[in-house]
Chain A
Amino acid sequence: MRTPFRLVAVVAVIGVLGPIVAGCGSSSNKGSSSGPQPGVTATSITFGTHTALTGPAAPGYSEIAPASAAYFKYVNAHGGVYGRKIKLLIKDDAYNPTNTVNVVHQLVLQSKVFGIFEGLGTPTHTKVVQYLNAEKVPDLFVASGCPCWDKGSSQPFTFGWLPNYTLEGKILGAYIAKHFKGEKVGVLYQDDDFGQGGLAGIKDRVPAKDIVSTQPYQVGTTTLAPQITAIKSAGAKVLVDFTVPIYTAIGQLTSFTLGYKPQLVISNVGNDPTTVGALLKAVSKGKASGTGLIEGAITDYYLPSNTDNSNPWIKLFRRIHDKYDAKAPFDTNVLYGMSSAYTLVQALEAAGKNLTRQGLIDVVNSQGATWQGPGLVPFRYSASDHGGYSGVRIAMIKGGKIVESGKPLTTDPSASGPITVATSTQAAPPASGIPGP
Chain B
Amino acid sequence: MSARLKQSTLARSLAVVVAGAVVLLIATESLSSYHNLQLSYGAYYFTVLAGLTVLIGLNGQISLGHGGLMAVGAYTVALLVGNEGWALVPALVAAVVTSSLTGVLVGTAATRLRGPYLAGVTLAFAVGLPSLADKYPATFGGDQGLTINPPVPPSWLGSSFPLERWEAWIACAGALVALFVLQNLVRSGVGRSLRAVRDDEIAASLCGLRVARVQTLAFVVSAACAGLGGGMLAAVEQLAAPGAFTLQLSLSLLTGVVLGGLGSLTGAIWGAAVLVLLPGWSNDIAHSFSLSGNVSANLPLGIYGVVLIGSMLLWPSGIQGGVRALGGRLLPRLAPNRPSPAKPPQGGQT
Contact = CB atoms under 8 A, between A and B. Distances in A.
Interface in A322-368: 327-328
A98 B24 contact: no
B244 A98 contact: yes
B144 A193 contact: yes
A185 B76 CA distance: 40
Interface residues of B, number: 59
B134 interface: yes
Nearest to A32: B160
A346 B33 CA distance: 33
Nearest to A57: B243
Which residue of A29, A97, A192 has the most chain B CB atoms within 10 A of its CB atom?
A: A97
Given A4-B6, A5-B327, A13-B266, A97 B243 contact: yes
Interface of B is mostly: helix
Interface in A2-20: 3-7, 9-11, 13-15, 17-19
Nearest to B273: A17
Nearest to A121: B243
B155 to A, nearest CB: 18
A192 B244 CA distance: 15
Interface of A is mostly: helix
B266 A15 contact: no
Contact of B241 (A22, A127, A130, A193): A127
B320 to A, nearest CB: 8
Contacts of B12: 3, 7
A131 B244 CA distance: 18
A25 B283 CA distance: 17
B108 interface: no
Contacts, number: 149
Contacts of A26: 32
Contacts of B157: none
A97 B241 contact: yes
A376 B331 CA distance: 74
25 contacts: A3-B6, A7-B19, A9-B323, A10-B16, A11-B20, A13-B269, A14-B20, A17-B27, A18-B30, A21-B35, A22-B32, A28-B33, A29-B162, A92-B283, A92-B297, A96-B244, A97-B237, A97-B239, A105-B34, A106-B280, A110-B34, A127-B241, A130-B149, A193-B143, A218-B131
Given A96-B243, A122-B143, A123-B145, 13 more contacts: A1-B341, A7-B19, A13-B270, A19-B27, A28-B30, A53-B297, A54-B298, A97-B244, A110-B32, A123-B241, A130-B147, A131-B150, A218-B131
